[in-house]
Amino acid sequence: MSLVVIEFLLYSGYPNNKMSITPMSLSPSALAFLGLAAWMLLLLLVMVNQRGLLVLTGKMAVNGFAPDGSNTPAGFGQRLVRAHANCIENLPWLMALLLYALATGQAALTDGLALVLLAARLFQSVMHLISTSALFVWLRFAGFLLQLLIALWWLLLFAGLAG
């Protein structure tokens, strides 16, 4: 059966009419753009899973969740809701800069720091998930500050004021 599927993918109906299947190459900016979206979706899936389990086990009513997660049992659940909300608050401007670079053919300006930006975003969220102690709040802030500085640098590059 799998050979039939592979042949279907490789041929467009006629034996002499092969379709070319080549892996898509992503620039660092495109990878960071998709990585930011994937990270937010992953956090959402974990949150949906946790809430689903709470509902299915009868620990929470399906309509009993506060939007800010304040009534979610356990500290991790509350931190998860806040980490996801933080992504919703910050990802639009980060993704807008990457999308601008990609859409205008200026990805060369963002490629050098795009994966650093993604790593800083992941770092900030993970610190958010681990703890709300002062040390982790400072670490989380460091991740945010790095993202902010990269974004400001990119704006200066786009405006022709740096580089």
Is 50 exceeded by the pLDDT of residue 5?
no
Amino acid at 3: L
What residue spans define the domains of the chain?
27-158
What are the tens digits of pLDDT across the range 107-140? 999 999 999 999 999 999 999 999 999 999 999 9
Q: Residue 109 is inside which H or E element, if any?
A: helix 107-130
pLDDT at 148: 97
Given this structure, which CATH class describes domain 27-158?
mainly alpha
23 vs 49 pLDDT, higher one: 49
76-92 average pLDDT score: 92
Overall pTM > 0.95: no
Residue recorded with tokens 């608050």: 89
Q: How far is CA 129 from CA 50, 96, 124, 140, in A?
A: 14, 25, 9, 10
Sign, CA dihedral 116-117-121-127, equals positive
Q: What is the mean pLDDT of the chain?
A: 87
